[in-house]
Amino acid sequence: MVIVGPTGAGKTRLAIRLADHTGGEVVSADSQQVYAGMDIGTGKVTRDDRARVPHHVIDVVRPNEDMTAQRFVELADRAIAEVTARGKPVIVCGGTGLYVRALLLGLFSGPPASPELRAELTELARQRGTAALHAELVRVDPVAAAKIDKNDGKRIIRALEVFRMTGEPMSVHQAKHDHRSTPPRYPARLVGLSPDREALYCAIDRRVDAMIEAGLEGEVAALRAQGYRPPLRSQQAIGYAELHDAADGRVIRERALELIKRNSRHYARRQLSWYRTDKAIHWHADPGAVDLVDLERYLAGR
């Protein structure tokens, strides 16, 4: 069972409810909840819930470590194998579209991320401009270049990275792993949560207020005390980046809180845009109205 949807839609609550109902365990597919010490701002389940319902792929790296989609897939695969071995249903709770897709469909067999090469290419982009890198990509991999916007530095760098490390264009690697034809790695039932837009935005605002009340600022202070701050990827997460800015005096607190809400709304929109195209998802507007008995019947039928 895979639960997807935008931030603030109620994925976590539904996952817990479903786990309680079925005796299943939860595998998180969230690119920020992997970081230990980042609990409030990433909306992790409470300690009580975790004590009752086992959660996996949460708190698996320190905030100064890199996380990648491939690493996530490895960790999730292992967790799923363990839970399955115990004879329990697996509930994947995912907010990160790329991670969910990578888990279900796999990634093309390319080289792993190379921090050195990325640093080199990033420096090159800074000096000569992103357009220059794109021009190089046009030369070595015109197929990929046609699909990547000339301003999209991150994707241009990834494509060049793959080419340099393998001597083969990324588009060739990808053609061997076409998502439209690759068989799913797991038999999954996808449940999507998509509340009314206005209600979702309201929920997001309230959720941010609740995070502040719960001590998000203290959490950020603790991270800073340990030396974790931007530009660490983990510290650029929504709710953290803004409060680091506030702590550094770049914005006033009031504005930072507004920005957290705004950025969360933007993020929710991007998530919806990602999932909307997936025809396999069964959508529900109200997480509270999802019929657990129906879902359980489906799980039991496997």
Partner RNA sequence: GGAGCCAUAGCCAAGUGGUAAGGCAGUGGUCUGCAAAACCACCAUUCCCCAGUUCAAAUCUGGGUGGCUCCU
Which residues lie near RNA (CB under 7 A)?
7, 30-33, 41-43, 66-71, 95-99, 101-102, 107-113, 118, 122, 147, 149, 151-155, 157-158, 162, 174-175, 177-179, 197, 201, 233, 236-239, 262-263, 265-267, 269-274, 276-277
**Strand blocks (E) in the chain:** 2-4, 25-29, 55-56, 90-94, 190-193, 281-284
Q: Which two tokens stand for residue 217?
A: 């600022």
Compute the least distance from the CB of residue 211 to RNA, in Å: 9
Nearer to RNA, 14 or 295 (CB): 14
Compute the least distance from the CB of residue 20 to RNA, in Å: 22
Phi-psi region of 57 (alpha: psi -120 to 50; beta: other; left: phi over 0): left
Compute the least distance from the CB of residue 229 to RNA, in Å: 15
Compute the least distance from the CB of residue 295 to RNA, in Å: 24
- For tokens 């786990």, the residue is 19
Nearer to RNA, 113 or 138 (CB): 113
Nearer to RNA, 22 or 166 (CB): 166
Q: Are 24 and 86 in contact (CB under 8 A)?
A: no
Nearer to RNA, 175 or 292 (CB): 175
Alpha helices in 86-230 (DSSP H): 97-105, 115-128, 130-140, 142-147, 153-166, 170-175, 197-213, 216-225
Please state, as a whole number, how many other Cβ atoms lie within 10 Å of the Cβ of residue 4: 25
Q: What backbone torsions phi and psi does residue 141 show, to the nearest 5 degrees?
A: -150, 75
Nearer to RNA, 199 or 292 (CB): 199
Written as one letter, the residue type at 165 is M
Compute the least distance from the CB of residue 252 to RNA, in Å: 16
